[in-house]
Structure 1
Amino acid sequence: MSQGKKSRELNLSDFPSGTVTEYSTLVCLACIFELFTSQLGLAPRTAYSEIKRYAPSIEELTAPRAVRPFFDSEEKHPHCPHCNAAKRWHARLDTLRIEGGKSTDAARRALAKSLPTKDTQFQFIETKSDRRTLFFNWLDTQRSHLDLDDDSWLIPATRAFLERLEPKNNWSEVFADLRAVRRSQRLEEGWERAGSRLFLSPSIYSEVLIVQYLISRSQTHAGHTFEGRITLVELIRRLRYSHYLGANEITESDQFEILERLVEKVSGGSARTKLYYVVDRRDFLGKVKSVYSLYAT
């Protein structure tokens, strides 16, 4: 990461773990200027003014697969996959998604006050969603970030889930040099660390198994968990024997109805929640100006 990119990073240390999701995408300004000047027939100056005001939708900024004029690339000197334009024609748009709630409201307001307001360098968007939708978005994020072919993903996935479950805890410290996660035979609730092992209460451990199954079940016919590779029927059997189903009054007999109840439990169901998006437009505005100078000469 270059020093210039570091200077653009925002301080998110006041936000509890698991409450902020970061997205980044590239937009090809050659594609956009081509649309405004050649297809719409606008003069370069008019196109420049219109493009400066351009506000991409949340769907465009956070889509798992970018569509023109957006694209994703990890290359140091990428070319636009749509028009082959070089790096100088590209702008980066970084987006934060902050989950609303008591644990984040103060930090979110402080962040908003600290950001410059000149030239709409930052765009603020408020939307509403539900816990279930957020949970499935989170599952998709985990699948894209984890190497499911390597068993080592199980511990990072557990940490990510616990960050959502108890966001105020310092999970970075808890998981430092951690080697194993086990079901506790002593704890009735909560968790404790002993040496290089983390012990979870039966209820939390059961939910970790559910999450691991949901993350990995699209990768293989069965889900991969701390208990090995298990099918849905085997997962339900383990949850029944551990009294998780009974404790949560899950009495359905059909396996898929049980799965729906499990998802409702670990996700929070249809409870509504506010989402706050912060779009960093600084690189976009700077690149638009430099690209306009090429068109104007």
Structure 2
Amino acid sequence: MPSKNDSRDLDLSRFPAAAVTTDTTQLCLSCLFKLFTKQMNLAPRTAYSEIKRYVFSVPELTGKELTRPFFRNAEKNPRCPSCNAARRSHARLDIYRIEGGKQTDAARRALVKSLPKMAENFQIIEVKTTRRAAFYEWLDALGRTLDFADDTWLVSATRALLERREPKLDGAETFSGVRAVRRSQRLTEGWERDGARLFLSPPLYGEALLIQYLISRAQTHGGLTLDGRLTLPELLRRLRHAGLFAATSAAGADQFELLEQAINGLAGGDETLKYYYLIDRRDFLDTVKSVYSSFAT
């Protein structure tokens, strides 16, 4: 849903592309005012005060299945799925999730310092997780953006991997015009561009196969990758040839243990990671005032 005031969009250009994810949730204030005034018998002014100072939580804003009065609707003029209220009663909540770490901490502090009326207009929630959990969240979010009916998703997934590995990479410039991704017979690390082809070193190519397999196995039977549709044994054989398994760790391990080893190596294991959720409340505050006026008359 487009912003009611695009000038309010935050400048996130100082952050690596893979370090920030954005989400938008809508909140029906008509539902809330009806709850406070009709079911709880509060005066409109009291309801307004209570709603205005509400502190949001991450699960209620970012869950896959939102509950009343929260909802998602990308239509231009959506209706509340619970009370059928029109768009003028809906508040937009933009949620920015910033991954903590050396690459982002300075930029995050500078952003927070620059925000107008920070304490009133914005809310920050710090959440601890692990790099492994963050990896799966990233993988799930990436999968929801890809069109698996179009084979170009394989290139898009490779771009997402490189942006995650190299925070300073300009993905748009690097992948502009890329039509094919190949395994390099010459490189031992990194990648290089040759015309419309992008060549990856064997270890990096193996990581790309793993990412594509994990994303697509939930969509199709057998993971679809740059090397075609692979079964798990076929994937592991390629990862072994790419050097992603130490000889000692691969000896005697079953295929599921090997897959877990590969994922842990790519994700970073159970090392602690912090997420900072920045919630933009400005449209919420404006809409609360507007809806209150209609209930107070």
TM-score scaled by length of structure 1? 0.96
Are 1:252 and 1:258, in contact at CA under 8 Å, matched by a contact in 2? no
Aligned to 2:114: 114
CA change 1:54–1:229 in 2 (3 A) is same
Are 1:245 and 1:251, in contact at CA under 8 Å, matched by a contact in 2? no
Are 1:250 and 1:261, in contact at CA under 8 Å, matched by a contact in 2? no
Whole-angstrom CA distance in 1 between matches of 2:3 and 2:137 = 31
Aligned to 2:87: 87
Query: Which residue identity is paired with 2:131?
Result: R
The superposition leaves residues 109-164 of structure 1 with CA deviations (integer Å, 9 ceiling, x where unpaired) of 11101101266101111121111111111111112111112211111111111111
CA change 1:249–1:173 in 2 (3 A) is farther
Aligned to 2:12: 12
Q: Which stretch shifts more, 253-262 or 16-25?
A: 253-262
Matches within 5 A, 1:179-218: 179-218=179-218
Aligned to 1:130: 130
Aligned to 2:296: 296
CA change 1:269–1:3 in 2 (3 A) is closer
Are 1:100 and 1:273, in contact at CA under 8 Å, matched by a contact in 2? yes
The superposition leaves residues 173-231 of structure 1 with CA deviations (integer Å, 9 ceiling, x where unpaired) of 11111111111111111111111111111111101100000011011120110000111
SS at match of 1:205: helix
Query: Which residue identity is paired with 2:86?
Result: A
Query: Which residue identity is paired with 2:199?
Result: F
Whole-angstrom CA distance in 1 between matches of 2:165 and 2:248 = 17
CA change 1:137–1:73 in 2 (3 A) is same
Matches within 5 A, 1:110-259: 110-117=110-117, 120-246=120-246, 249-259=249-259
Q: Which stretch shifts more, 237-246 or 104-113?
A: 237-246
Whole-angstrom CA distance in 2 between matches of 1:277 and 1:49 = 24
Q: Which stretch shifts more, 253-262 or 154-163?
A: 253-262
Are 1:124 and 1:276, in contact at CA under 8 Å, matched by a contact in 2? yes
Offset, 1:252:
4.7
CA change 1:284–1:3 in 2 (3 A) is closer
Aligned to 2:21: 21
SS at match of 2:275: strand
Runs of 5+ unmatched residues, structure 1: none
The superposition leaves residues 250-280 of structure 1 with CA deviations (integer Å, 9 ceiling, x where unpaired) of 4453111111111111111101111111100
1:40 paired to 2:12 = no
Offset, 1:232:
1.1
Whole-angstrom CA distance in 2 between matches of 1:181 and 1:189 = 15
How many residues are treated as equivalent by the alignment? Answer: 297
Whole-angstrom CA distance in 2 between matches of 1:78 and 1:130 = 37
Whole-angstrom CA distance in 2 between matches of 1:19 and 1:203 = 23
Query: Which residue identity is paired with 1:5?
Result: N
Whole-angstrom CA distance in 2 between matches of 1:191 and 1:177 = 16
SS at match of 2:17: coil
Whole-angstrom CA distance in 2 between matches of 1:234 and 1:124 = 45
Aligned to 2:71: 71
Aligned to 1:263: 263
CA change 1:2–1:208 in 2 (3 A) is closer
Query: Which residue identity is paired with 1:13?
Result: S
